[in-house]
Structure 1
C-alpha cells in the first residue's frame, strides 16, 4: 500500500533556539523515497538525528533568529519492520504517565470492563471511548489528560488515545501512544492513536473512527503525547506561522474499497 506523506512548517524564531522535531516516518517504515529540509533564506541546516528504542526519529538543530522553513516528504510502501518490544518497555507501558493516569481511572475501568481480557477487552475499550467522547476540534487544551476528557466528554485524537491507553493500563494491558500520518483523515493533520499489547504484538485503536488503521504511517511512539510532540523547543521563542500536513494513498488499493470496521485486530503497517 503506497502512501505519500508530507509536512510543511513555517516557523518564526525570536532568537537562537534549540529545536527538536518528530515529523519523519519512524525507523522501520519501508521508504521508497524521503526528503527533509530545514532552510532559512539561503542557509540550509543539517540536523542531528536521534533514534529512540521504539524507532522514533528525532531531528535536532539550533535555529537562529528569523523565519525557518521545514519541508518533509516521503513515499512509504510495504510492511514495516517494528523493533522487538522489551520486557522493560511493557512495564513502562503498564504504568501511569502524565496524560494517561491509569491509577486515577482504575476503579472506573474495573467496573466498566470487569471480566474482559485479550481481544474482547481491546474491542470494548475502543467502543466505549468512541461512544462516550465527542470529536470537538479547538475545544480541548494541550494540557488535557485522560481524566479531563472523561469528565468533559470531548476532545481530539490525542484525547481519545489518552483515554483508551489509561483504561487499558488500568486493566493490566500494556498500552502506548503513536503519532501517525493518516491517509484520508478529515480534517487532515498529524494523527494520534493508541496501541494495545496482546500476545506479543501491538494492535492499533483509533477510537475517533476517522482513519483507516491499515494505511497509517508511524511517526513516533511513546507513553503519551508528551513523548511524541511534532515540535519541542528550548531557550527561546518559536511562533508557528503555518502548518500543512497531507497523507494520501498513491495508487488505487483493493483493501481501501473495504472500510475499516475498527473491530478486527490491526497493526500499524
Structure 2
C-alpha cells in the first residue's frame, strides 16, 4: 500500500489536518507528524538551538514539541521510515487561509513541502482560502472541495504521475465556495502580493510597549493575462501552481557580470 506523510502548520489538532486524514485514509497508509502548536508563517525554519521531542499521539500519529513543519519533515523522514524507504508522497495542510504569491515564502505549510522535495519526495501544499477566517471555522467548514481535490491529485501522483522535476512541488489553493460553484482547476503562476502595515502597538500593565502583526487583506497586482493564483481564486477556480526552490534570477546573471566589471 502506498504511504502518505502528512503535516500541518496549524498544529497537530488542526481541523484542516483532520479533514486531510479523513479524505486520504481510504487510498493510502497515513502517517502524521505535526507541530504541537500553531506554527503559521514560520517559513522554512529548522530548529538548531535546542533538542526536539517527538511524542506519540496515536498509531502512526506524532507531534513535535515546539517544532516547525520543516522539523517534522526532517525528523520523520529520517526516523519513522525504514532505511532505504521514504513515503510515496508528502501533503501539508489543509491550511486555514490562503498561501498565494509571496506568502509562499512565509508559509509553514509550503515549507513542509519544500523540505520534502529536498529529500526527493513528491509533495503538495494545500490551503483553504477563507472569506472570513473566524466565521468560516465557527460555521464548521467541511472542506468538501478541498478534500475532493486532494484525493484526485494524490491518486494521480500515487499512480507514478508526479508531473514535476527535482526540488519542485505543487501549491494548491481552494476557493471559499461550495463544490457546485467551482468552475474547475486553473494552473497558475504565483501572483504579486501587495502588503500593508497591519501592526498594532500596545502597552502592557508595566508600560512596556509590544506589537501585534495582523492579517493583511488579499490584495495583489493584476497579472496581464489574469493567470496568477489570486485571479483564479477570485474567479472561483482551484489554483494549482508549480513552485521551485531554485530562486536564482537567471536573467540577471549577465547583467551582474557586466555591472561588476564596470
TM-score class normalised by the smaller sequence: under 0.3
Q: Which has the higher contact order (CA 8 A, sep 6+)?
A: 1
Q: Would you tell me which structure has more strand in proportion to its own residues? A: 1
Q: Would you tell me which structure has more helix in proportion to its own residues? A: 2
